[in-house]
A and B are shown apart, each in its own frame.
Chain A
Amino acid sequence: MSAREKILSRIRAAQGRAGSEPTEAELAAVRADIARRERGPQPGIARTADPLAQFKRECDRVGTTHFEAESLAVVPGAVARYLEANGLGRRLVAWHEFAGLDWHAHGITVDDRPARGDDGTGLTGSFCAVAETGTLLLLSSPETPKSTALLPETHIAVASRQRLVDTMEDAFALLRAERGELPRATWFVSGASRTADIEQTLVIGAHGPYRAHVILLP
């Protein structure tokens, strides 16, 4: 008997079911339960009249700075001002979708490749934003490598106000509707990386970025 069979039959015996494998009927019941995709109770903060205000309030709380831009074309200028204000170098590693913008006009060099361990600033997009917690949802793909959001000291993310949803449940519904399945990496980011493991004293910038900045497009 394999370890799998032993564990499964132990569970089944303890709960009064014979055998070492769930029956087709039991699996069908479980799949039916999953297919219901029942949502839990939604708190008041998840259903606000002004999701954008809620999103920005939560960003402020976790230390994510944000800027509302009127179009994709102004992103290079907004990035340039952010880099300038934070004393950062004018070089980015960016997701492919942003490589074609007019960076040259703002004196910024963009590397169109996945980030390496020594890159200073990474620019990514996002699948959607979640108002309840001031969170961005990012999905991995060949054009959207996770490393760009993770390895650089500064993470700048572009999000769309049209793709701002109220809750994580809404984000998952959008993901299922548009993509069907989860990509290899599906990750929610809320602010820069942090730790409080020494004397519960909060330090920003543990292993991931020190700074998180969101540019909100219409």
Chain B
Amino acid sequence: MQVQSMFFKRTSSMKLDDPVLQRNMKHAKGKFVDLRAKAIVEIDNWEDIRTHAAALRDRTLANLDAYLVEFERNATRRGAQVHWAETAEAACDILVEIARANGVKKVTKSKSMVSEEVNLNERMEAAGIRIIETDLGEYILQLANEPPSHIVAPAVHKSKEEVADLFTVAHGRSRTVEIPELTLEARLALRDHFLTADMGISGANFVIAETGTTLTVTNEGNADMVTTVPKIHCVITGIEKVIPTLEDFATLIRLLPRSAIGQTIANYLTLTTGVKGPGDSDGPEQMHIVLVDAGRTRFVGSDMQEMLRCIRCGACMNHCPVYQNIGGHAYGWVYPGPMGSVLTPVYVGIENAGDLPNASTFCGECQVVCPVKIPLPDLMRKLRERQFDNALRPWGERMAIRAWSFAVQRPKLYAALAAVGSRVAAWMGGKDRVIHWMPGADGWTRGRDMPAPEGKTFRELYRSRPSAKGGGAAISPSLGRGQGEGQP
């Protein structure tokens, strides 16, 4: 997928003004949040499982090279060929070459976000190979020639009417807006492709070092088709997806579908290990596994390595107030929401995605819902610091932060400035005590009013409270700790 993240501000404004998208997003957000909330209360030790999962991901990442080599050894032992790709281009080259060498004309593909990262479809088509998306959401988007807007529900931004328009053209049948009918149309259209494709490409939710297994989690069963029917099965996945054992998968699968869509379990958990055996009627004769770096090693060993724990459930975006309002496309690359605000700047360069770490209210909900406890707000804060240190934010913004930093470290100066500032702001608020325009912050006040402050600073109000005259003895300990701490 082409990086469009540099246009975040403009695109997000457009998305906020798009009535169809706003309606579709409103429809979606409640479902994700409610279903997850209901699903996790059924697990009495949810927190313990999260803690265990985060620890097992960290343990693996701390020895990532050795787990990958152990995975490679076991996969190879079972007849799979393991390929390594440093870059997006290299990953595509490997897959195109496998297809060419085997005279492949048609490929069926189940959902893979890594394949979106590396622009696989475009590269395959350019090499004259037809590649067909088989996840219903991805199939819709391939017809619409659009990128996914959500990692689990890629077409969540589309209404059934929009899908109906696409299907009417693609399938040449009379138009219907009934969702079961639309699903049946896609089933019929794709069934023939499943049975006649020369090669299947899947992603992998995890790869297991112990057994050399790659694994997909789906509800539709499309990954099962793609990994069972064609003579060649290729897996494209990131190097961070390796986990040690089957037991670790059992732990993670308690978290993944519940966090993603509030489902106890996905319908198909599909573990594929090597090529078909003698006498097997189905399964591939060749299995290729492409392990992709494409930016992942930049996280390894850094102060942001925790991001590689991610199991791609999408809970962070489902619960993000920014994502809920602008949808996934505004983020301009494969991964929207808080996870994208951390991944995209590191994968494609912070200079191309500078607004993303700033597209957060820091409400902290993403960290609260993350099944593997990734400290997403902390990671976004680190990226903001990097931008500041490398002079990647606008000059005015950096000067303003410097000035504030200077003042806040000098309590007397800060008190004096705050006293002036709050009075000016109170005066600006006028009779209705609302500020309609703020110089230097017109981006903020263009779309919303700001309530005017009282006219006095917190410290002035604190000093003038009745109990202050009694020397503070009347202050309850909790108030003292909660609000008064740090006051000079």
Contacts and interface: CB of A to CB of B under 8 A. Distances in A.
A192 interface: yes
Interface string B18-58: 00000010011001100000000011111011001100100
B302 interface: yes
Instruction: Give the interface size class of chain A.
Output: 35 or more
B136 A34 contact: no
Interface in B279-314: 279-283, 291, 293, 297, 300-302
A182 B211 contact: yes
Interface string A143-155: 0011100100000
A203 to B, nearest CB: 4
A50 interface: no
B355 interface: no
B52 A187 contact: no
B147 interface: no
Given A39-B247, A190-B266, A200 B63 contact: no
B300 A11 contact: yes
A133 B43 CA distance: 12
Contacts of A8: 65, 68-69
A161 interface: no
B362 interface: no
A117 B64 CA distance: 41
A65 interface: no
Given A4-B84, A193-B219, A208-B221, A27 B70 contact: yes
A177 interface: no
Nearest to B62: A15
Interface in A107-149: 114, 117, 133-135, 140-142, 145-147
Interface in B64-109: 64-70, 84-86, 90
Interface in B232-258: 239, 244-251, 253-254
Given A169-B250, A207-B191, A41 B48 contact: yes
Given A7-B239, A37-B247, A190-B266, A198 B84 contact: no
A91 interface: no
A172 B250 contact: yes
B266 A11 contact: no
Nearest to B280: A142
Interface string A35-76: 001111111110000000000001001100000000000000
Given A189-B267, A197-B136, 18 more contacts: A4-B84, A8-B68, A11-B239, A14-B302, A39-B247, A40-B53, A43-B46, A62-B265, A140-B280, A184-B274, A186-B272, A191-B267, A193-B268, A195-B183, A205-B183, A207-B134, A207-B221, A207-B222
Interface of A: 2-4, 6-8, 10-17, 21-22, 26-27, 29-31, 33-34, 37-45, 58, 61-62, 114, 117, 133-135, 140-142, 145-147, 150, 167-169, 172, 181-201, 203, 205-209
